[in-house]
Amino acid sequence: MLEFWYEFASTYSYPAAMRIEGLAAAAGVAVAWRPFPLGPLLHRHQGMTDSPFNVVPVKGRYMWRDMERVCEAEGLPLTHPSQFPRRTLLAARCAVIGLEDGWTPAFSKAVYQANFVADADIGDPEVLRPLLAEVGAAPDAVLEAAQSEPVKARLKDLGDQAGARGVFGSPSFITADGELFWGNDRLEQALEWAVRHREMTA
Amino acid sequence: MLEFWYEFASTYSYPAAMRIEGLAAAAGVAVAWRPFPLGPLLHRHQGMTDSPFNVVPVKGRYMWRDMERVCEAEGLPLTHPSQFPRRTLLAARCAVIGLEDGWTPAFSKAVYQANFVADADIGDPEVLRPLLAEVGAAPDAVLEAAQSEPVKARLKDLGDQAGARGVFGSPSFITADGELFWGNDRLEQALEWAVRHREMTA
């Protein structure tokens, strides 16, 4: 099993979300999707109230060029969003709701595509509504539940868990034995670790 | 041709320095070694006066664990230095001097091993002296020249060049057509890019 911790505003989490299912299936590793809010951790660890890629423009310029190369190599379309980062709490709360019914992976990929391909405002419930319908969820019920205190508390708790486990960025991967890997470019190593650990404990 | 920009205090630059010659030779790509001082760029871009891995401890903890994994996978020994980061200006100025006589690659690898394997103070001229002798340089002459204004100016100029080319971290790789790659984990992609570009312009 591999935990996949992701924030919808995170650029490199988009290719990770699109790649993880195929690679994990090939490795025979189950994936536990873990949406979480990265903002509070960036603020706590680094005092940031904006994306690191906006705070440090030279890093931002590099990141967008690197993202172009990464997505091109993976055959993934990419649009530089007209707004970055976007509000993601509502989408993340919807993703939390979907965990029990199994539509979180498909919904999460759709949210990333909305943000980084269609350049749509994923903070807008009207943008999320068709994405929810497409994965078989009931948009009205989900969007209403997403504003409820229990769901807000569950997402906040995931953020607290992430922080307690050493997560400071997205995407992050945590193996069953607690090994943390950060970044889309560490996905393969994380899966290899998960396979090795499974063999050792089997 | 691929430019390899590196700062001796940088952890991930150690495996990059140990790997680049073999991978570049296999790809038929020449490597231009470019020692540079990263500190001024970290200060200018991010207001930092210490390693980012000290400024943000949660990132530092991750980095050291990740370095263990990276080095183990490459069969490279690694010691967590008792002092981090170390003073690197003197070693970098020596490396600049070696470019004309061709001993910079061997000397640079020795400096990384001194810092990250032997846990030696690479800011101390007495630590650098045997490393210089081993690569066939004249330690007394090199250490004296390293304190001269022209050599200091050459290293500072390399730092200015790095900043002007978009470098913000180490290791960085720049291809002949100006494509920037950051991080030990981008070395393979940088070489692939260099090979593709060479074929396109040949």
Which residues of chain B lie closer than 8 angstroms to A65, CB-CB? 180
Per-residue pLDDT of B2-30, as tens digits, reads 999 999 999 999 999 999 999 999 999 99
Judged by CB atoms closer than 8 Å, whether chains meet at A56 and B45 is answered as yes
Judged by CB atoms closer than 8 Å, whether chains meet at B65 and A189 is answered as no
What does the pLDDT read at residue B2?
A: 97
Give yes or no for residue B201 having a pLDDT over 80. Answer: no
Which residues of chain A lie closer than 8 angstroms to B73, CB-CB? 189
Stated pTM of the model: 0.95
Task: Using alpha carbons, select from B162, B170, B172, B174 the residue that is nearest to residue B2.
Answer: B174
Strands A2-6 and A31-35, bridge-based pairing: parallel
Which residues of chain A lie closer than 8 angstroms to B62, CB-CB? 166, 168, 180, 182
What does the pLDDT read at residue A199?
A: 65
Judged by CB atoms closer than 8 Å, whether chains meet at A45 and B58 is answered as yes
What does the pLDDT read at residue A201?
A: 58
> How many residue pairs bridge chain A and chain B with CB atoms within 8 Å of each other?
41
CATH class of the domain defined by A2-201: alpha beta
Nearest CB to B59 within list A66, A168, A189: A168
Residue extents of the structural domains in chain B? 2-201
Please compute the mean of the pLDDT values over residues B126-145 and round it to a whole number. 98
Residue B34, token pair as written in the block: 């470019």
Euclidean distance between CA atoms A104 and B117, whole angstroms: 45
Confirm or reject contact between B164 and chain A (CB < 8 A): no
User: At residue B171, what are phi and psi to the nearest 5 degrees?
Assistant: -80, 150
Please compute the mean of the pLDDT values over residues B48-58 and round it to a whole number. 93
Confirm or reject contact between A138 and chain B (CB < 8 A): no
Q: SS3 string of A154-180?
A: HHHHHHHHHHHCCCCCCCEEEECCCCE
Judged by CB atoms closer than 8 Å, whether chains meet at B180 and A59 is answered as no
For chain A, the average pLDDT equals: 96
Q: Are B23 and B187 in contact (CB under 8 A)?
A: yes
* C-alpha count within 13 angstroms, C-beta hemisphere, residue A196: 9
3-state helix, strand, coil in chain B (%, to 5): 60, 10, 35
pLDDT band, very low/low/confident/very high, at B197 (cuts 50, 70, 90): confident
Per-residue pLDDT of A171-198, as tens digits, reads 999 999 999 999 999 999 999 999 998 8
Residue A148, token pair as written in the block: 């409820």
Q: Nearest CA of chain A to the CA of B51: how many Å?
A: 13
Confirm or reject contact between A181 and chain B (CB < 8 A): yes
Confirm or reject contact between A64 and chain B (CB < 8 A): no
Residues of chain A predicted below pLDDT 70: 199-202
